[in-house]
Amino acid sequence: MSLSELETDPRIPVVKGPILWLLAKVVLGLFVGLFAFDRGLAWFDAKMDLTGSALARDPELAWVNKPGYTDAVTTISSIGMRSPEIPDDAPKDEVLVIGVGASRFFGAGDGGPPMDKVWAPYLEQLCKAKYGERWRVLNGAVNGYSAVQAARRAVKLIPELRPDLILMEISPGSQMMLDPSSTRHYVHVGKGDDEVLLPIDIANAVPEPLYPAAALLHQTLTHSAIYTRYRAKASDQGRRAKEIDKFVLSRAPRPPEIEPTLQRTFDELRALGIAAREAGVELRAVVMPEPYMDHPARWKNYTQNHGDKGAPPVGTPREEPLEVLTEVLTERGIESYSMLQPITQIGTDRDKYNVDEGHWKSIGHELIARAIFLSMVREGLPERLMKERAAHPRN
């Protein structure tokens, strides 16, 4: 078949118009389709929580409390608190206290208390009864959090809410101390107001001179639902090895595989301490014994049965993990309140105080709130907070 015959053959389609224009339309169509899919995915994710609970995906923290979630005992505020919304007419000189931590601070547990019967409202009532009405205590804890997540969440809340005091629940066991996910660790890029956080897995994939560009791209892409899903999945990867999943901080030598993860937790605590000091925010660590530390016999049983999984040696004093954790916090400029006494009281009658192995009934939360309050009073902290806030009302 000749060239002229090929050109006139009706079976062969004829391309009309510039080929670049056709390619541009294809690319534009793909872009519009991808954008529509991304926005549809964002709408779907906004309607759905994470595994049917009060959680939503987060590209940096893996999960957070889902704003607007509600059930019979919980309402999550627009800023992710298990507390009522802050009203627009809130006094500009009120003292704002924020708590961060995991499920015990959140008030979880099968049959656990409603949101107005956990430590935060009890602490608010105690402060108001002694110091007047201008106190607000918000419960910003999130179920399942590690110390890395809690610290990073607190850092994000400081500029958003300008609290006067942050109370961070922390305990010496594996959940808090050994966050297995590398992407909850960040490299600080830039300085001052221009400083941004770049996830460590991204930082490891690019040369250091490209960190600012990678951080900018990461921040931009967090507006994409597709990317947000990917980052949330990446952030939640990793599980503690079975041989260390019963780890508790102590003075005993630690397996070398624990050290990098543990030091990352310590680094995040230091970063929170620095952020709080620079913002003029008081920070106190509420050092919480693990549930199996609430009674000497239970602690002895724990060390006897889990030595091959990271538990301290038999004979380790029950107070030692709390002492070591307090020392770690002090070295990083964070003052602590020990909850050993109230947790020991809870251990004397678990049926009275606990809804399950590690979570409390309302009476347990009330006990913890009173212990925190008395710790604050002993150091004269409420008076200092009130004086400072009265001198510098919020805008």
The pTM assigned to this predicted structure is 0.81
What's at 139, amino acid-wise? N
Judged by DSSP in three states, 109 sits in coil
- pLDDT value at residue 201: 78
What pLDDT band is residue 342 in, cutting at 50, 70 and 90? very high
Closest listed residue to residue 139, CA positions, set 176, 173, 191, 101: 101
Judged by DSSP in three states, 188 sits in strand
The encoded tokens of residue 172 equal 């010496």
**Concatenated DSSP letters for 319-347?**
THHHHHHHHHHHHTT-EEEE-HHHHHHHH
- pLDDT value at residue 288: 98
Q: How many whole angstroms separate alpha carbon 213 and alpha carbon 118?
A: 44
Neighbour count for residue 235 (Cβ, 10 Å): 22
- pLDDT value at residue 121: 98
Contact partners, residue 357, CB within 8 Å, separation at least 6: 291
CB 171 within 8 A of CB 289: yes
- pLDDT value at residue 13: 56
Neighbour count for residue 6 (Cβ, 10 Å): 9
Judged by DSSP in three states, 91 sits in coil
Judged by DSSP in three states, 167 sits in strand
- pLDDT value at residue 110: 81
**pLDDT (average), residues 324-352:** 96
- pLDDT value at residue 3: 44
Closest listed residue to residue 57, CA positions, set 36, 33, 41, 70: 41
The percentage of the chain sitting over the pLDDT mark of 90, rounded to a whole number, equals 61
Q: How many whole angstroms separate alpha carbon 200 and alpha carbon 140?
A: 25
82 burial (CB, 10 Å; 0-12 / 13-18 / 19+) is: buried
- pLDDT value at residue 355: 93
Q: How many whole angstroms separate alpha carbon 395 and alpha carbon 393?
A: 6
Contact partners, residue 307, CB within 8 Å, separation at least 6: 313, 314
- pLDDT value at residue 26: 72
What is the rounded average pLDDT for all residues in the chain? 87
How far is the first Cα of the chain from the last one, in angstroms, to the nearest whole number?
83
Q: How many whole angstroms separate alpha carbon 349 and alpha carbon 302?
A: 19
Per-residue b or e along 111-122, where b marks 16 or more CB atoms closer than 10 Å to that residue's CB: ebbebbbbbbbb
- pLDDT value at residue 8: 55
CB 253 within 8 A of CB 313: no
**pLDDT (average), residues 235-264:** 83
What pLDDT band is residue 49 in, cutting at 50, 70 and 90? very low
Per-residue model confidence as pLDDT tens digits over 296-325: 999 999 999 999 888 999 999 999 999 999
The encoded tokens of residue 175 equal 């959940």
Q: What's the Cα-to-Cα distance from 372 to each of 11, 36, 191, 246, 390, rounded to whole Å?
A: 84, 50, 35, 27, 23
Among the residue ranges 63-67, 287-291, 366-370, 375-379, the one predicted with the least confidence is: 63-67
Q: Angle 321-326-331 (CA atoms, 0-180°, nearest 5)? A: 130
